[in-house]
Amino acid sequence: MLDRLEKIVGPANLVKGADLVKWSRDWTGVYTWTPLAVARPGSTDEVAAILRLANDTGTAVVPVSGNTGLAGGTKAEGAIMLSLDRMNRIREVRPAARIAIVEAGVILSSLHEAADTHDLIFPLTFGARGSAMVGGFLSTNAGGSNVLRYGNTRDLCLGLEVVLPTGEVMDLMSELHKDNSGYNLKHLMIGAEGTLGIITAAVLKLAPKPRAYATAMVAAPSLDQALILLNRLQEATGGGVEAFEFMPRSYIEGHLEKFPGAKPPFEAMHDVNILVEVGATAPRDCTPGPDGRVPVSVHLEEVLEGMFEEGMILDAVVAQSHAQRAEMWQRREAAAEIALTRRPIVNNDVAVPLDKVSVFLSRIHDRLTVLDKGAKELTVSHLGDGNVHYTVWPVSQDPAVHDAIMEAVEDVVLDLGGSFSAEHGIGMSKLPSMARRKNKVALAAMRAIKGALDPKGILNPGKVLPG
């Protein structure tokens, strides 16, 4: 097998033996494995040849991109790991059509830089943008901080190129905004976590680059009043709110503990801390006035001042420089590092209706105190889209207690009409949740699709679908 793989990708592009160490764990350190080898193809044809070989021999293939996932989606014991890091060309940026045609190994931050040269943005952004790749964020339908304005990854993709488990290449590289010609196979592949095909290229939407940002930290009396703030800002800015991120007191304390040199957002500590950012493109909102102040920032300050006078917010700090804005974002984007400072960890990525976030947090807190008294909670939320990252550091070392905590989260989320997985995917860590909670008819349909496209089950086996 290794000899045949080597003939496809070349000796320099097949990782094996002792060199596999760095490919044998996920970013969290929760999952470890020993792959058969890591193949690094340089073209779609080479990907197709690898999958034909794997399909003929019944060998498992596990795709890996930046390997920054949190759900165990890259565990590859005895499997061929398929890294598309060499397929990293930005083939074309078309400013007039506002699209970029890219290969799956393009790093997200590189795409950001390429779009920036045309005064455009690819609006997907999150903490791992310096390592996450196109194939990975498409395969997990990544979310991030700007979903509120621009949507998930699924909303930012027009077309795909996908290699099926048989080695056949499915060309879906459409540049169309409307195409109603049958089943939407593009959406089937996005979010499938590499279980149905290997994404090798994509047509992605770009957006106008905001010429100015207004960024602030706001302390609110409650989450319900924070939502009033969000709605007012959306009305006042014509839907210009790009991010609305909730960090409770415990998160701020965790950030200060992890980063001793960091500053708290306010002089006093508050229970509800919101990072809000408004992006503006119109010259009237971005051109500094005679006093040097940018209108979009002035407008944000005026809205916040009015709400402060009404008692709807408790405090606010508007960034006056790029450095202050960067400091606010660093606080939010450190979430994964903070969550992994303690073990054991029960990590949840859930979604509930926007007006149910406070209800979820209250109910699960009450459940947690019964299940594991003394357990610590760490919460951070994309409040503008109802996505809550809810981490528990249990006191108990008993895996049965950890499972009970996870089930309690599922109970509360589903009772509120939510989902037990919002943006991190299923991987391995959410397989029990899928088995317990996913509609049985939906599971059967998913298995039928998997069986039809991948009858030998070679692509990322043991992920997404419970056994």
pLDDT, residue 179, reads: 93
The residue type at 73: G
Query: Is position 449 within any domain?
Result: no
Query: Is position 443 within any domain?
Result: no
Are residue 128 and residue 142 in the same domain, yes or no?
A: yes
Cβ atoms 206, 115 nearer than 8 A = yes
Are residue 272 and residue 379 in the same domain, yes or no?
A: no
Are residue 319 and residue 359 in the same domain, yes or no?
A: no
The string over 197-229, giving b where at least 16 C-beta atoms fall within 10 Å of a residue's C-beta and e elsewhere, is: bbbbbbbbbbbeebbbbbbbbbbbeebebbbeb
Query: Is position 463 within any domain?
Result: no
Of 48, 83, 118, the residue that ends a domain is 83
User: What is the domain range of residue 162?
Assistant: 90-208
* Beta-bridge mates of residue 133: 107
Are residue 304 and residue 400 in the same domain, yes or no?
A: no
pLDDT, residue 66, reads: 86
Are residue 244 and residue 194 in the same domain, yes or no?
A: no
Condensed to tens digits (0 to 9), the pLDDT of residues 287-344 reads 998 888 999 999 999 999 999 999 999 999 999 999 999 999 999 999 988 998 888 9
Query: Is position 48 within any domain?
Result: yes
Are residue 329 and residue 397 in the same domain, yes or no?
A: no
Token pair for residue 74? 């890259």
* CATH assignment at residue 150: 3.30.465.10
- Classify the C-alpha dihedral 212-217-223-229 as positive or negative: negative
C-alpha 402/C-alpha 293 separation (Å) is 51
Of 335, 365, 393, the residue that ends a domain is 335
Are residue 190 and residue 216 in the same domain, yes or no?
A: no
Query: Is position 459 within any domain?
Result: no
Total domain count for the chain?
4
Are residue 178 and residue 236 in the same domain, yes or no?
A: no
pLDDT, residue 68, reads: 82
**Nearest residue to 47 (alpha-carbon basis) of 194, 174, 175:** 194
Are residue 74 and residue 94 in the same domain, yes or no?
A: no
pLDDT, residue 29, reads: 81
Of 208, 239, 263, the residue that ends a domain is 208
* CATH assignment at residue 78: 3.30.43.10
Query: Is position 153 within any domain?
Result: yes
Are residue 350 and residue 315 in the same domain, yes or no?
A: no
Condensed to tens digits (0 to 9), the pLDDT of residues 39-80 reads 999 999 999 999 999 999 999 999 999 888 878 899 999 999
Are residue 58 and residue 97 in the same domain, yes or no?
A: no
pLDDT, residue 165, reads: 97
Query: Is position 328 within any domain?
Result: yes
Are residue 45 and residue 155 in the same domain, yes or no?
A: no
* CATH assignment at residue 276: 3.30.70.2190
Query: Is position 376 within any domain?
Result: yes
All residue ranges of the chain with pLDDT < 70 are none
